[in-house]
Amino acid sequence: MLQPARWVVVASLALFTVASMLPSSAWAQNGNKHNRRKALMASRPYAPVQYGGRGTPNPADVTAVTQAYKLLAQADHDYDGHRAKAMKHLSQAGRVLGVMLKGDGRNPNQQQVSSDELLKQAQTMLQKMGASGVSGNRHTRAMTHVQNAMSELNTALSIK
């Protein structure tokens, strides 16, 4: 048989456990499903979640996508939107890899030859990423976006 002091401890632990499992009062106040979920998640202890899925991305993939994006941001804007589409695909690849890529550089005074050279450097960097032989779910998902970006770069370089 438990002593009275232990009964108090056991009862308070049981009450605390039940109370912590119940949703917060914000649950009853918010009729919207999205708001209820946010309220429920806010009442739970913080657990860091890795952005973009499980596992860590390959650092070489992250570097290649980031550098290619920076090169495209430095290039001129006269490629009928194909450079911007390639940047969007690289941004999506970066998101898969857990990197947020933003920005759209403006360099209107750049010569066409130097702008083409920047696009070719980015294309070469992305081709090396594809030929790296790395496997994994993140790499495979990122490579679909990289392939789309390379296709847009080919189209952009064909425009004169």
User: Do 111 and 76 have their domain in common?
Assistant: yes
Confidence band for 148, pLDDT divided at 50, 70 and 90: very high
User: Do 122 and 151 have their domain in common?
Assistant: yes
Rounded to an integer, the average pLDDT of 21-46 is: 58
Rounded to an integer, the average pLDDT of 32-51 is: 54
pLDDT in tens, 133-146: 777 777 888 889 99
Q: Considering the domain boundaries, does residue 54 fall inside one?
A: no
Q: How many domains is the chain built from?
A: 2
pLDDT in tens, 54-71: 567 778 888 899 999 988
Least confident of 53-57, 72-76, 98-102: 53-57
Question: CA angle at residue 10 from 6 to 13, to 5 degrees?
Answer: 140
User: Do 34 and 84 have their domain in common?
Assistant: no
pLDDT at 16 over 80: no
Per-residue tokens: 86: 């390639």
Q: Considering the domain boundaries, does residue 53 fall inside one?
A: no
pLDDT at 91 over 60: yes
40 versus 44: which is more confidently predicted?
A: 40
pLDDT at 97 over 80: yes
CA–CA gap between residue 84 and residue 73 (Å, rounded):
9
Which positions ≥6 away from 137 have C-beta within 8 Å? 53, 54, 55
**CB neighbours of residue 45 within 10 Å:** 5
Q: Which value, to the nearest 10 degrees, does the dihedral of the CA atoms of residues 129, 60, 47, 39 take?
A: -40
CA–CA gap between residue 52 and residue 1 (Å, rounded):
53
**What's the mean per-residue pLDDT of the chain?**
77
User: Do 67 and 145 have their domain in common?
Assistant: yes
Instruction: Work out the angle between the directed axes of helices 82-97 and 59-74 (0-180°, nearest 10).
Output: 160
Residue 89's domain spans which residues?
59-158
Q: Which amino acid is at 10?
A: V
Q: Considering the domain boundaries, does residue 34 fall inside one?
A: yes
Burial of residue 94, with CB atoms counted within 10 A of its CB: 0-12 exposed, 13-18 middle, 19 or more buried: buried
Per-residue tokens: 143: 């490579």
